[in-house]
Chain A
Amino acid sequence: MNLERLPNEEKLTLCRKYYFGNVYNVCVWGFAFLPFLWLVNVVWFFKEAFVKPTYTEQLQIKTYVKCSGLGFLLWVAVLTTWITIFQHFRAEWGEVGDYLSFTIPLGIP
């Protein structure tokens, strides 16, 4: 979808949808904590929010982009910590580690 051709209110609605995570109006869970949607939001609307010359809806778009960016970074930090800890200690945790795993590698502890 080419953002160039959309009118500004539509851009705002889109940005909001991606921020709240209820694209396609499936349901209004809101704040679905979806890191990838937030990443898409940041990358897609970055030019719109910070580079383009000002227009009315740009302030709200800026807020959404900033919040999405923060949320995404938070998620990355949490996930990276958890993944590092799990991969390092899974073998030592024995039973707990096995029950937390979806697929257990063969032949290595």
Chain B
Amino acid sequence: MGLESSKWAIIFLVCWLYKNVSCNSVEQKIYVELNNTVPCVRLLNATHQIGCQSSISGDTGVIHVLESEEDLEWPLSKGPNPPYMVLLESSLFTRSIMMKMKNESNRVAGVAVVVPNTSPPEFSPHTTCPNENTGVYSDNYGPNLAHCNTTVWNPRGNGLSYEEFDFPVFSLKEDNETEFIKQCYLDHNRAVNGSAPQYPLCAMQLFSHMHAVTNTPTCMRRNDINFSINPEMVCDPLGDYNVWGSIRPYNDTVFGHKENESVVIAAARLDSRAFFWEVSTGAEGSVSGFVTLLAAAQALREVTHEAPPTRNILFAFFQGETFDYIGSSRMVYDMENGKFVIDLDNIHSVLEIGQVALHSGNNLFLHSDPVSRRNNTVNDVVKNLVNNLQSSTAGLGFLLVEPNVSQPLPPSSLQRFLRAQPIPGIVLADHESAFNNRYYESFYDNAANLNLTYPSDLSPEEQLEFVTHTAESLTDVATVVARALYKQAGGDESRVNTIKADPKIVTQMLYGFLVSSNNSWFQAVMAPELKNILKPSPPEYYVGVAMSSTPTRLVQYLLANLTGAATNLTQSQCQKPDELPNESRQMYSYLWVQGIVPPNSTERDSFCVRASVRLTKAVSPAFELGEYASKDYSTWTESRWKFIKARIFLVASRDLEMLTLGVGVAVLFTSLLVTYFISTKADVLFSSTREPASAAY
């Protein structure tokens, strides 16, 4: 009995000790993982690779916080412990410093950029002439207008996004982790009174090994190789879906030219980019345009039901325009090859909404293509469209002005339509020549760039409903666009002045697209299975490779809710509407949306929306045709990678490492020798006392 109880006592004691014992991993004591980092990745096109690459086992360098451009001498020539990992403040993230480091890249292991919360005066890593080789202007078409000879659209562009770096470049936020890194630098790496800093030094290691190399034809070829031992995909084409919707629905199974059908296309772009991967906010660059177009579509809903215009109006939102017009080139290609519901000959005119939120001086500008306007028919339609636009601004406090006639079109989707056929079109923008946007295609093009400010004492729900100045000015632009489109489509003149865009909707959209996408309105218009894409931060506008970008889905559901009709269908009927007599999935798309939460309950009032809103694939025709070296179409691909991480730790001097290794090897050989000697002399060393001769027999 005593043994039993003592056994149990021991078991309980062991279990209790086990619970209280914790273990410490050696790795956690050495490395500090950095979690809020964003890498720069490698992108490839038909001829080049751009972006950053690290080595396969990461790049390690001694941290050096750069204080000024002259301080670059330390990592590049004077410092005694190369390679260095240079930590830059955003004011020092300039082309001259990055190019100097690129030239001495054997002493630079990598760069970390600290991105502050406030924006610098200007910064645009894009090129000065966006999409210059895939627009309409070339040596055959307006040669004096090509390559930004007359107007440089993005003069502040430093082209950093299109340079190739063979060291990793990461971005850090201004938070506790960055403070920790700077403290580590100050404690260990500072040179005291000109003498070299002593080991151990604080070092950072960045992993961002990219699989693809050289250019798109090479990486697509390597994707396709079948007989290698381990076939691996190394890159993916950029692309997503275009969203389009129309006033009168089209049968989604009947493609090609439609007789006697004349369509006015209203276009905007959806995407944007930045130097680092996926952090693109594109407030002025893309959000201003498509929010205006969504508001105009909503403003036209009622009047086009009561008094339908003669021509149809098609709202098109193109994805991938940043990367050589992926979405619009694909739509034009589909139209040319009879794979879209209408044809290029069905297009009457095009009105594109460019960057419209920063109009200083209360004027907006109507850009048109001077080369196509030399043709009188085209010129007449353009003049008519200009008139319709200018007369729609009555009572709204700003004017629409045409810039100098010999100026080319800014980078816009209309250029791809013009490449195929001379189509009359106008691009509406807030800049007369160079962009007003000081942060074109950069991570600073955010809500602050649009002066989108809310009073500080509002809750998120109140901020959603608060109508800001930006929202009001965009609402006016949307009203003008809606009225002009209605007139252009041959609608009833008497009803034009009843068309007004709703500022409430515009401000809710601006909040959702620039501040926080997880708000009650976006939750109400989205499908239940997609509610996880809504986050407390604004969505990312990078086109990406996964074909599931958040802005596309949001715009699809918003366009459906704003231009479509709510129906009484149940959820199962919504998935199979063809069983009902009046509904047809070929003419409309049926989307089951969550709906709002009524005040006195917790269940959502979900319903089925019927709208003529569709998604079409926006992958460059170069990948459909297999022409990976195409000069006509976008050939951008993004490399694949295994993992991306960053960590800091203290690193010892090379001499100490070699000494430790040497001592270890010496101990190994000594022990081998000793073992050998002991085993040969074993009988001498381990002889037991001789037993007395047991020869007793």
Contact = CB atoms under 8 A, between A and B. Distances in A.
B221 A98 contact: yes
Say whether chain B's binding surface is mostly helix, strand, loop, or mixed: loop
A102 B222 CA distance: 11
B254 interface: no
A108 B234 CA distance: 11
A104 B230 CA distance: 9
Contact of B210 (A95, A101, A107): A107
Nearest to B56: A107
Contacts of B610: none
B218 A107 contact: no
28 contacts: A94-B218, A95-B221, A98-B218, A98-B221, A98-B222, A98-B225, A99-B225, A101-B228, A102-B228, A102-B229, A103-B228, A103-B229, A103-B230, A104-B222, A104-B225, A104-B228, A106-B56, A106-B209, A106-B211, A106-B232, A107-B56, A107-B209, A107-B210, A107-B211, A107-B212, A107-B213, A108-B213, A109-B214
Nearest to B218: A94
3 closest A-B pairs by beta carbon, nearest first, are A106-B211, A109-B213, A103-B229
B437 interface: no
Contacts, number: 31
Given A94-B218, A95-B221, A98-B221, A107 B229 contact: no
Interface in A60-85: none
B518 interface: no
Contacts of A109: 213-214
Interface string B41-64: 000000000000100100000000
A106 B234 contact: yes
Contacts of B232: 106
A104 B212 CA distance: 11
Interface of B: 53, 56, 209-214, 218, 221-222, 225, 228-230, 232, 234
A109 B53 CA distance: 12
A108 B56 CA distance: 10
B528 to A, nearest CB: 40
Contacts of B56: 106-107
B435 to A, nearest CB: 36
A109 B166 CA distance: 13
Contacts of A99: 225
B224 to A, nearest CB: 10
A103 B228 CA distance: 6
B598 to A, nearest CB: 55
Nearest to B639: A107
A99 B228 CA distance: 9
A15 B210 CA distance: 52
Nearest to B227: A102
Contacts of A98: 218, 221-222, 225
A20 B56 CA distance: 45
Nearest to A94: B218
A94 B213 CA distance: 12
Contacts of B211: 106-107
Contacts of A95: 221
Given A101-B228, A102-B228, A107 B222 contact: no
Given A98-B221, A107-B53, A107-B209, 16 more contacts: A94-B218, A95-B221, A98-B225, A99-B225, A101-B228, A102-B229, A103-B229, A103-B230, A104-B225, A106-B209, A106-B211, A106-B232, A107-B212, A107-B213, A108-B213, A109-B214
Contacts of A101: 228
A106 B57 CA distance: 12
A107 B232 CA distance: 12
Contacts of A106: 56, 209, 211, 232, 234
A101 B229 CA distance: 9
B234 to A, nearest CB: 7
B581 to A, nearest CB: 57
A101 B213 CA distance: 16
A104 to B, nearest CB: 6
A94 B215 CA distance: 11
Contacts of B221: 95, 98
A1 B92 CA distance: 72
A90 B213 CA distance: 14
A23 to B, nearest CB: 28
A31 B284 CA distance: 75
A101 B226 CA distance: 11
